[in-house]
Homo-oligomer: A and B are copies of this chain.
Amino acid sequence: MSSFTQTLDAAWQRTGSLLCVGLDPEPAKFPAAFAGRADAIFAFCRDIVDATAPYACAFKPQIAYFAAFRAEDQLEQLIAHIHARHPGLPVILDAKRGDIGSTAEQYAREAFDRYRADAVTVNPYMGFDSIEPYLEHAGKGVIVLCRTSNPGGSDLQFLETGGKPLYQVVAQLAAQKWNASGELGLVVGATFPKEIETVRGIVGEMPLLIPGIGAQGGDVEATVRAGRNAAGTGMLINSSRAIIYAGKGDDFAAAAARAAEDTRDRINAFR
């Protein structure tokens, strides 16, 4: 079986897309046809996945939305659907876990054994032994928060330590010390293109997961120019709400497909 980075490289080549479609299901925003369905979250996300798959290189379900609605079973079903119907498109479980080693082992089981995700996002605040248990799952990807897209991201990540901001220390640790498996990536928000460029300079070819170009307002051109690697890839540029809620009526899936295609094309215009 291919590793996460191999699958991702192949997906970038095959699809010609750098777009990662984020799945943040909120039943209150679903079209009326889903009202009252016990499997509404699965069914809505499945329709979005099937409609947008031709324009995406990956999918990123955000586990908080499933957990808030007691829909863990629907998340399992959804990821199984993606693997079955869209093989070769990696699934990144956005969970941002971070805990001591013995607990991290359980979170790794949750992400990889239970949900069968190809990669998971993790938080670096507790250091390397909070990340190591994920690396022991051979071939699985681990995407470490570095410079996040939210306003409060600066509260800690921009503090100077040893002459540089904390997020750069995280990028260095990830690239130089923590990446024994070769399956690490970093989260760097599209709301900070200059910092994407700095991180790219530190980490070489490492994949960057870049949220924030849609509802959060990041600039596509600046993001692509800052984040691409030598091959013109190296980025999973994520959009969630701007794609999955592009339409509100019965044509929601077609509207999501158009939004995904358009976003892919806007990204590709600057590669």
Using CB atoms and an 8 Å cutoff, list the residues of chain A in contact with chain B.
Answer: 24, 62, 64-65, 67-68, 70, 72, 96-104, 106-107, 109-110, 113-114, 123-131, 145, 148-157, 159-162, 166, 169-170, 173, 216
Contacts and interface: CB of A to CB of B under 8 A. Distances in A.
B68 A107 contact: yes
Per assembly, the copies of the chain total: 2
A61 to B, nearest CB: 12
Contacts of A65: 103, 106
B156 A64 contact: no
Contacts of A159: 161-162, 166, 169
A129 B150 contact: yes
Contact of A155 (B102, B128, B162): B128
B155 A166 contact: no
A64 B99 contact: yes
A264 to B, nearest CB: 23
Contacts of A96: 97-99, 123
